Structure 1
Amino acid sequence: MTQPDFETVVAIARRAGDAILAVYNGPDFDVETKDDDSPLTAADRAAHAIIDRELRALTPEIPVLSEEGADVPAAKRQQWPRFWLVDPLDGTKEFIKRNGEFTVNIALVEGGRPVWGVIHAPALDTTYGGGVGSGAWKQTGADGAREPLAVRTPDDGHAVVKSRSHPSGELAAFLERITVADEVPVGSSLKFCVVAEGRATLYPRFGPTMEWDTGAGQAIVEAAGGRVVMAEDETTPLTYNKDDLRNGFFIVSA
């Protein structure tokens, strides 16, 4: 199959991020929940509209599955040989807290596997990307040089990614069984990115996620040499386009 123009997809993610920032930096920002008329909802919908419209124009032969339009029956979407998997605004709690750690996520999924992804953090003006056979990279600013990424293995203990918003008893029990040298608190899909760039060595997730939360991050981590596997069977990778779009618990590592 012919590969899409991924550079254009990166630009689409940045434009969606600009639309989010227009709301985030606006004079009327005051939000605690995702009500239908909240700034959070406005930002989500604005980003979704840009991504959906521009991906369909760029690759009309590739369907788009987005959090904002995820009501496609499984029987239909499982006929797709590949599709775009999109979360137009990941990290709603980070958006509400105004800590900047929210992202735009776009992944290309083929045969149940994310083969390419981009994660753009508009408030941080930082973009991560990567895919099968092309490696992973980080870019600061629209014109910044792209830094190659590679995961790192732990020395005397793991640097563990710690969710800012989703603690769990299962996670606490898991951490008791390993050596933790450091904790790296971060929100949204940026948790994948800090593993991909070697700032952390382990991201165990024992909480609810959907496929659009993880697809782009998994592609980037795997392109950087890492793994994303099921927590109950670490020989099984996290897979996509399942009957149920909810993920099981998983572990991201070098």
Structure 2
Amino acid sequence: MTIDHYQAWLPKVAEIAKQAGEVIMQVYRCKDCEVEKKADGSPVTLADKQADQLIRQSLAVLSPDIPVVSEENIHATPFLERQGWSCFWLVDPLDGTKEFIERTDEFCVNIALVVEGRSVLGVVYVPVYDWLYMAHQGGEAIKVEQGLEHVLAVRKLIKSPVNVTVSRRHGKKVEEFIEALAPSKTLHCGSAIKSCLVAEGQADVYPRFGPTSHWDTAASQVIVEAAGGRIVDEKGEDLRYFPTENILNPHFMVVGNNRYPWPEFPK
């Protein structure tokens, strides 16, 4: 598979993400959104399910030979089946379900293509604001807003205060990191939008020291890297997406300038 494949597929995957966003918004406009609990206790809505179905069906048409790992369909693809996959789609049909339920508007659609453990194509679509972030390996990071395309670039020159973007439920370890950065300015936001804010230079760093899954980061990682940034673990290594049983990420930071003297990861 070559960059030409990624380049040809990117606008098609972007259109799939936008169609999923339309399905999500149809549910979001209804005031009474029924919420169920999955086996792990996390919430799921009709929007998650309908967007998941649309994306999986559309990707099957686009690339019938490439399997799909989706948050809402992971039970249908057990590890024994997935462990030998070297190429697959990684999907979060509604990243930020809690934000969706709480109506903060800060949720998105994540679609990534993974080849040999690396995410090589990524689309993040924010339906409420109609923001479309996309990139493929070897290309530029693009944001489409109000019909206009903007090439994204991280902010390499970091000035005081440092701009930090974090979840609304970020926890004590992130608070310690922010204190070590002082002075800093904090922007609270949900879902993979935080990583995209680093990619477009609105934030300098997004520290995440709580549990996340592969589908939370794979799509935005391509965008961040194409914009000149990185998503790194405690060892300073880029996140990778080889099939695992629990598909969990290590703790990580999304950074625009990897050479900046960031505080150490909390123990």
Asked if Structure 1 and Structure 2 have the same fold, meaning a TM-score greater than 0.5 normalized by the shorter chain, the answer is yes
1:48 alignment partner in structure 2: 52
1:114-193 correspondence runs (5 A): 114-141=119-146, 144-153=147-156, 154-164=158-168, 166-193=169-196
What runs of 5+ residues in structure 2 fail to find an aligned partner?
A: 257-267
1:95 alignment partner in structure 2: 100
CA distance in 2 between partners of 1:92 and 1:180 (Å) = 32
Contact 2:136 2:223 in 1 (8 A): yes
Contact 1:64 1:83 in 2 (8 A): yes
1:154-233 correspondence runs (5 A): 154-164=158-168, 166-230=169-233, 232-233=234-235
Amino acid at match of 1:172: E
Contact 1:77 1:241 in 2 (8 A): no
Matched, 1:247 2:255: no
Contact 2:85 2:243 in 1 (8 A): no
| Alpha-carbon distance, 1:176 to partner | 2.3
Matched, 1:109 2:114: yes
SS of aligned partner of 2:105: coil
Matched, 1:67 2:68: no
Matched, 1:237 2:230: no
| Alpha-carbon distance, 1:29 to partner | 2.4
Amino acid at match of 1:192: S
2:262 alignment partner in structure 1: none
1:11 alignment partner in structure 2: 15
SS of aligned partner of 1:237: coil
TM-score (norm 1): 0.91
| Alpha-carbon distance, 1:75 to partner | 3.9
The structure 2 residue matched to 1:81, chosen from 72, 80, 86, is 86
Contact 2:165 2:194 in 1 (8 A): yes
SS of aligned partner of 2:128: helix
Contact 2:166 2:208 in 1 (8 A): no
Aligned structure 1 segments of 4 or more residues deviating by more than 6 angstroms: none
TM-score (norm 2): 0.87
Amino acid at match of 2:210: G
Q: List per-residue Cα deviations over 1:27-61 (Å, max 9, x = no partner).
A: x5245x4348xx95211111001000000011011
CA distance in 2 between partners of 1:162 and 1:137 (Å) = 22
Contact 1:159 1:180 in 2 (8 A): no
Q: List per-residue Cα deviations over 1:130-177 (Å, max 9, x = no partner).
A: 121111011124xx121000000212342001212x221111122222
Number of aligned residue pairs: give it.
245
Two-structure CA RMSD over aligned residues (Å): 1.7
What runs of 5+ residues in structure 1 fail to find an aligned partner?
A: none
